[in-house]
Amino acid sequence: MFRENSLKKKLADGKKALGLWLALGNNATAEIAGLAGYDWVMIDHEHGPGDFQSAISQMQALAAFDTTCLFRVPWNDAVYIKRALDAGAEGIMVPMVETADEARAAVAACRYPPNGIRGAATSSVRAADYGMREADYVAGSEAQLMIICQIETPKGIENTEAIAAVDGVDMLFVGPSDISTNLGYAKQRDHPKVKDALASLEKRIKDAGKWMGTVLRFGLDPQDLFDAGYDIVSGGSDSGHVRNAAVAQVKAHRAKNA
């Protein structure tokens, strides 16, 4: 539901923000994330199995908490972005952004005319409290929304400064898995060429003065990444936390009860 974007406020105040990836499309794990006190969550529709109804259920589960609901769309698709925003997403992340033109298209999809191309249905959508806060939403949505471009390719790295300069882009998000894969070193995030590419990207983002986010990578914990200059870090995913706890418990059991 329409409210102040607490994540944008935290970052503007110079604070670091820890998040959780919601990969399961499940409202119970979303609620657990809110109860645990995560600063933000990422509802993942690029690789996750969820649909818009499950996304709304997740956002409803988080409505009582000071946890910002970010939403990764599958692609830079104005229609999908519009639906995610109407459902109540407080931030949009677009994957595989490689050029300033692509970043401008993402921003335009998030904004109402005259500053963008987003279709207006504020008299009925959840984002505007089903029309009950229509005027407030129209007036405040542009300032409250967080727009994130994900950099995941060598071409994206080359164009970092141009992407960062696009009006409306709040954050650049480093995708280490796709960067390593697109460089030809899949699952080798510690390869020297991958490390060099990540270091170059990090410096470019910092020099551009944009907020910077990422996910965990091999051998690093969230604080390592915060200390390296990241503003938001995903501490893992709901599926990953369940997997890791389950595997560890069964492994411990088998070791003593083989």
Distances (CA, A) of 244 to 72, 173, 239, 251: 24, 25, 9, 10
Task: Return the pLDDT at 2.
Answer: 84
**Model pLDDT, residue 189:** 85
Cα distance between residue 249 and residue 178, in whole Å: 31
CA dihedral 153, 158, 162, 165 (to 10 degrees): 70
What's the residue count for the chain? 258
Domain map of the chain by residue range? 6-256
What span, in angstroms and rounded, lies between the C-alpha atoms of 87 and 83? 6
Cα 2 to Cα 133: distance, rounded to the nearest angstrom? 8
Phi, psi at 3, each rounded to 5°:
-160, 170
Handedness of CA 174, 156, 159, 109 (dihedral sign): negative
Closest CA to 50 of 17, 24, 18, 31: 24
- Among 90, 92, 94, 111, smallest CA distance to 102 is for 94
Question: For position 1, what pLDDT does the model report?
Answer: 66
CB of 234 within 8 A of CB of 20?
yes
Q: Hey, which residues are catalytic here?
A: 47
Q: Token pair for residue 128?
A: 């505007």
In this prediction, residue 45 carries a pLDDT of 98
Q: Tell the burial category of 154 from Cβ atoms under 10 Å away from its Cβ (0-12, 13-18, 19+).
A: middle
6-256 topology per CATH = TIM Barrel (3.20.20)
Q: For residue 32, what are the β-bridge partners?
A: none
Pairwise CA distance, residues 118 & 101, whole Å = 17
For the whole model, what pTM was predicted?
A: 0.97
CB neighbour list of residue 90: distance below 8 Å, 6 or more residues apart: 3, 5, 7, 68, 69, 70, 144, 145, 146
SS3 label, residue 118: coil
What is the full per-residue pLDDT of the chain (258 aa) written as tens digits? 689 999 999 999 999 999 999 999 999 999 999 999 999 999 999 999 999 999 999 999 999 999 999 999 999 999 999 999 999 999 999 999 999 999 999 999 999 999 999 999 999 999 999 999 999 999 999 999 999 999 999 999 999 999 999 999 999 999 999 999 999 999 898 899 999 999 999 999 999 999 999 999 888 999 999 999 999 999 999 999 999 999 999 999 999 998
Q: What secondary structure letter does DSSP report for 165? A: T
